[in-house]
A and B are shown apart, each in its own frame.
Chain A
């Protein structure tokens, strides 16, 4: 019997992680190039978050595709530290720009934090729902 609730969180995790990757790179990105063509520190924070978001997206695809519920729960658990890491990168691990009014502070950082929190909540829900599932006994 298919666990509908866990299936919903499996599905939601995937678009959330894809939106995280696309959003941080193309919509809610950091400040642009300087006049001299070089980048500010926030650009590297954006790159780091983008790289982690790709990893989260790949894991969320695995969560969606695999059948084994324990494997699903384990993969969802792997998303949590990745999302936590993404949330603390802007301005904590990699400095952002000087002014809080600049794009990296006003747009990218809140987006990264909000999406990370949403992904963590979905991952925790997915773990709980997959572990709680009363499936058939043949399943390992």
Chain B
């Protein structure tokens, strides 16, 4: 029968309100699943990226910086700041046992970065000893940094070849780093000579609060990797006992707070997704049951006109699959439009490292979302399809149902 060929679609179009409600419900399930999964994955990826970027077992900073949580604010929260310690402490740290790799870093906060009043964190490193930033620059396609060259984080609106002015000193953008989803995306990196010039210039211009700092005799922090046969804990104890006015911190401890927050956000998101899905499935079951109940006579007439029991069940299932696929596609589009363009806003709101997965992974999640949302609708309709295939035509047409 020609009519039966398009019957599920015609049924759906004939009841626009019910169809719209089912499509919206499926879209809601799909958007919840996709957004929730993308947010959780992005947070996990961001945490992994932060671990990789810290890249050292131990950080040694001036004692005041550790107690005032300046270090965590700079490294984890992306706040700008600076602190310095005397070179003599570096020499004492170098004498401690178990040090495999050691490199110094210099922090400076810019007063202004070109077009805007927002300061930028400038991190200087020694290219000869560095083992945390150089591999990252290399991975992003950058080469050896010359004096007055800078490397900008991915979230800075500056590109290779641009010139940025910090404290009156013009710096040339030599490379732009890959996105990490961490506070390092808004930082500027440069070599030791350049940052010393910038520190000196900021002191000369009296634009920073420190005045009696000699850039040649100070460092901000020391990064250490433990040598084979030594544990980070042993080195930390050694430094904290034998070197005064410094604090050695294990980088794993620093990110434990971030890890805990991420776990909390993941749990809440997981509960939210489960709640929406349970609710959605129940509404689906009710909607299809009610729909089939009120259409019993319609199905009975179809049965009288020659439609098999299997055909009746297939009509109900096809209706569910059509609404499921349409709703899922709409939900996926909405989900992608919410999460991808507004990822920076989500990152700011959560205040956690946030790195959106690559396109293949996003496509995978969108596909899973489409399948699961459509199957949920089909599963909910399956029960009604089974019931409608068992109807007693005579009883229903007599009106004794």
Interface of A toward B, CB cutoff 8 Å? 31, 34-36, 40-41, 91, 95-102, 105-107, 109-110, 113-114
Contact = CB atoms under 8 A, between A and B. Distances in A.
Nearest to B337: A114
Most chain B CB within 10 A, of A36, A41, A96, A102, is at A102
A40 B157 contact: no
A100 B344 contact: yes
A109 B344 CA distance: 11
B238 interface: no
A97 B341 contact: no
Interface residues of B, number: 23
Interface in B128-159: 154-158
Contacts of B186: 99-101
A110 B156 contact: no
6 contacts: A34-B117, A41-B115, A91-B157, A99-B120, A101-B155, A106-B344
Contacts of A31: 116
Contact of A98 (B114, B342, B344, B348): B114
Nearest to A109: B341
B347 interface: yes
Interface string B153-179: 011111000000000000000000000
Contacts of B113: 98
B156 A98 contact: yes
B64 interface: no
Contacts of A105: 157, 344
B118 interface: yes
B94 to A, nearest CB: 36
B6 interface: no
B243 to A, nearest CB: 36
B345 interface: yes
B345 A106 contact: yes
A101 B344 contact: yes
A97 B157 CA distance: 7
A85 B102 CA distance: 53
A34 B118 CA distance: 9
B123 to A, nearest CB: 15
Most chain B CB within 10 A, of A96, A100, A107, A109, is at A100
Contacts of B158: 98
Contacts of A36: 117
A99 B155 contact: yes
B342 A110 contact: yes
A110 B341 contact: yes
Contacts of B86: none
Contact of B156 (A35, A91, A99): A99
A100 B115 contact: no
Given A41-B115, A105-B344, A106-B342, A98 B157 contact: yes
Contacts of A102: 116, 118
A60 to B, nearest CB: 21
A109 B157 CA distance: 13
B344 A40 contact: no
B117 A114 contact: no
B51 interface: no
Contacts of A95: 115, 157
